[in-house]
Each structure stands twice: as structure tokens, then as C-alpha cells.
Amino acid sequence: MANVVLKDLRKSYGNVDVIKGVDLTINDGEFCVFVGPSGCGKSTLLRMIAGLEDITGGSLAIGDKVVNEVQPKDRGVAMVFQSYAIFPHMTVRENVEFGLTIAKATKAEKEAKVAEAARILQMEHLLDRRPSQLSGGQRQRVAIGRAIVRKPEVFLFDEPLSNLDASLRMDMRMEIGKLHKDLRATMIYVTHDQVEAMTLADKIVVLRDGIVQQIGAPMDLYHHPANLFVAGFIGSPSMNFLDVEVKGRDGDALVVSNGALDPVGVPSTLEATTGTRLKLGIRPQYLRPSTDTQAGKLHGTVTLTERLGSETVVNLRLTDDSALIAALGEDAIFDRGRNVSLSFDPTRAHLFFAE
């Protein structure tokens, strides 16, 4: 068991900086998820922890030992790749016991450990098959099996579920969560699927262009996003942003409005003077449309209603011609072209400086 501490970690390819100074502490036994858009450096950061990429600057410690120059195999890490990376010419058993074969373990030891891994992952019946005879989910299970037989202190996952279809992804997601609870190992998990991040993580690290945007527990990030980027990235459907203008200050709150929004006081600590242009963020779930056009402070017209079963997503065009999305829990009926007003709880809205 080990913690992982990154101090001002940097990576550049030639003169292209990819990771621009990351400070992060992952506690022993924690499930940490890196999220961010494509190309932001998630994989690179993970591969630096694994030892597959050289570290350009800063320090990386696993279990209180600086491992910048330590070979991957001596870092006590195991990695599961997006493309599974299981050996096509070996049976499932040979794949799972690969690390032990390399370490020249005895036959009995291999058998015992493979049996245990197979039991944990419920793949006893697959052991004698070849990878070509497995489904995607089963292959990923084999890759995870290969990782767990070595009892690593840190598990690294690079988008392990992105090649799977939606329902299988949900199953595997739950299994990985369960695995974490069973093994109590430190796990670092890369994904660009924020649902995976929200459901699995103890700690989410949001990355953008090689810079950490925010670190925190999932609901922390959801309710208190540090900036516009995190606010827009976490949550589905993503947060609505309205261009607003500050009209004045009212105690803790800034009074803001725009062409479609009647003046409203939003609690905020931003230092903004009257006339400043800000972004007002409101999650679709916290908007309540009403056919009574005077009931809420936002005004617009319904352009599309999508029923997803568990929720109904209403697309609107506001009177200042910007678009807005509201997600309603119940099967509410809002016909196209209907004029509505929307109300919301100002304490659940966020103000950001425009970027």
C-alpha cells in the first residue's frame, strides 16, 4: 500500500510542454480519477507515474520514495491499458500469470494466484481460452487479472472502458469500484467520461492543457467548481452559461442581469464592479420552467423536448437569442414554441469571470 505524491511534475517533448507543473497528493488506498478533454495530458501524466515516460522536471514519490529514476517494474505499479494489451498468442491463464512467469515464480504459486484472480474477476471458465475467443469485456477482465496477480501497491488504468459498449461499461465500472473496495489499493484512473469519474472517484483531478484546474471530491467539484472550465466539464448535461452584466452589489450577492434575465442577486465572492461582464452558470437540473411567463426570472421559448426516460431535457431559446437547457426529473410536457419563464435558486448558481 502506498501513497503517490507529485511535486511540480513536468513533461515536455522537445520544446512542447505537455505537463506544466502538477502538484498532487494521492493518499494510500484512494481512488483518484484524472479527467479532462482529449489531449490535455491525462495519459502522459499516468504514464509518467508508471515509468513509461521520462520525467522532465519535478519529483514523483510512491510510498514516500522518490521514483523519478526507478524502473517501471520496481515502482510497484500495475497498469491496465485502453487497448487491453493482452498477449494474443497466450491463453488467458498465461496472460494472467505473465508477471509471475517473468519473476520465475513456482508453478504452485502461479496456480494459486491465478485461481484467486480468476475468482475475484469471475473468469474461472475462461482460463484456457485464447484472447481471440473473448469479448471486449472479458479481455479487459484478463488485463485487470494480470494487474492484480502481482499485488501492486498502485493500480493505473488508462481509459480501460472506452472500447466497451455502454451497458458493459456500466457493469465493468461497478466491478472496478468493487475491486477497489476489496483490494483497498491505491488506484489512479484516467477517463474522459465524467460519469465514470463521478461514480468511481474519491478524488477527481481535472486537467486542461497540462495544468490542474481543480482537485476535490466529486460532489465538491459538482457544487463548487473553481472555474468556468471545471463547471462546464463536470455534470451532464453540462452547465448553462449566460453572459450577464453586474448591476450592483447586494450584501454577499452580486446583482446581475441580461436581456433575458431579470435582475437577480447571486451570492459570490468575485471582485466585480458594476458594468463588468460575467458568466452566470446554472445547472440544467436546477432550472424550473413554468408556463406562467411571470413566474421565473429567465424568459424564453421551448425549441425541443427530449424524453430520456429518467429525465426530460428541454431546449430553450431565450429572449436574448442565447440557448439554454433545462433537465426536468418528471415527465413534464412543454410543447415546442411555447413561451415559458424559468426560476432557479440563486444559491445554486455560479458566477465566473469570462475567460
Partner 1 sequence: MASKLTQSNRAGWLFALPGFGLMVVFIILPFFFAISLSFTNQRLISPNPTEWVGLANYRQLLGMGMITLDAVTDESGQIVRDDTGAPTYPRLREYTRNNPDYPHLDGMKQWFSFGRGGEARTFVLARDLVFLTAVKNTVVFVLVVAPVQGGLALVLALLINQKLRGINIYRTIYFMPVVVSIVVVSLLWRFIYDGNNGLLNNILDFLSFGYFEPVNWLGNPKTAFGSIIGMSIWQAVGFHMVIWLSGLQTISPTLYEAAEIEGSSKWQTFRYVTWPGLRNTAILVLIVITMQAFGLFAQIDVMTNGGPLDSTQTIVFQAVERGYGKQDISGGSAISVLLFLIVLSISLFQRWLTRERT
Ligand X SMILES: Nc1ncnc2c1ncn2[C@@H]1O[C@H](COP(=O)(O)OP(=O)(O)OP(=O)(O)O)[C@@H](O)[C@H]1O
**Which residues bind to ligand X, rule: CB under 6 A?**
13, 16, 18, 36, 38-44, 192
Q: Scanning residues 147 to 166, which ones bind partner 1 (CB under 8 A)?
A: 150
CA 289 and chain centroid, separation: 29
User: Which of Mg ion, ligand X, partner 1, none has residue 150 at its interface (CB below 5 to 8 Å by kind)?
Assistant: partner 1
User: Which of partner 1, ligand X, Mg ion, none has residue 83 at its interface (CB below 5 to 8 Å by kind)?
Assistant: partner 1
Lookup: cell for 264: 437577480
C-alpha 149/C-alpha 210 separation (Å) is 33
Angle of CA points 113, 129, 125, to nearest 5°: 60
CB 211, min distance to ligand X, A:
12
CA distances from 157 to 42, 83, 336 (A): 11, 11, 44
CB 42, min distance to ligand X, A:
4
- Closest to Mg ion by CB, 43 vs 213, is 43
Q: Scanning residues 284 to 313, which ones bind partner 1 (CB under 8 A)?
A: none
- On the CB side of 217, how many CA atoms lie within 13 Å of its CA? 4
Taking each helix axis as running N to C, give the angle between helix 166-183 and helix 136-149, from 0 to 180 degrees, rounded to the nearest 10.
Answer: 10
Contact 270, 253 (CB under 8 A): no
63 binds partner 1 (CB under 8 A): no
User: Which of ligand X, Mg ion, partner 1, none has residue 12 at its interface (CB below 5 to 8 Å by kind)?
Assistant: none
* Signed CA dihedral, 141, 147, 149, 153: sign only: negative
Q: Scanning residues 249 to 288, which ones bind partner 1 (CB under 8 A)?
A: none
- Closest to partner 1 by CB, 131 vs 216, is 131
CB 143, min distance to partner 1, A:
8
145 binds partner 1 (CB under 8 A): no
C-alpha 237/C-alpha 258 separation (Å) is 23
User: Which of Mg ion, partner 1, ligand X, none has residue 160 at its interface (CB below 5 to 8 Å by kind)?
Assistant: none
Stretch that binds partner 1, among 3-11, 26-34, 44-52, 303-311 (CB under 8 A): 44-52
How many other β-carbons are positioned within 10 Å of the β-carbon of residue 145?
26
- Closest to ligand X by CB, 121 vs 198, is 198
- Closest to partner 1 by CB, 50 vs 61, is 50
CA distances from 180 to 29, 183, 218, 252, 294 (A): 8, 5, 17, 42, 50
Size of the site for partner 1 (CB under 8 A): 25
Residues contributing to the site for partner 1 (CB under 8 A): 50-52, 71-74, 77-79, 81, 83, 85-90, 98-99, 101-103, 146, 150
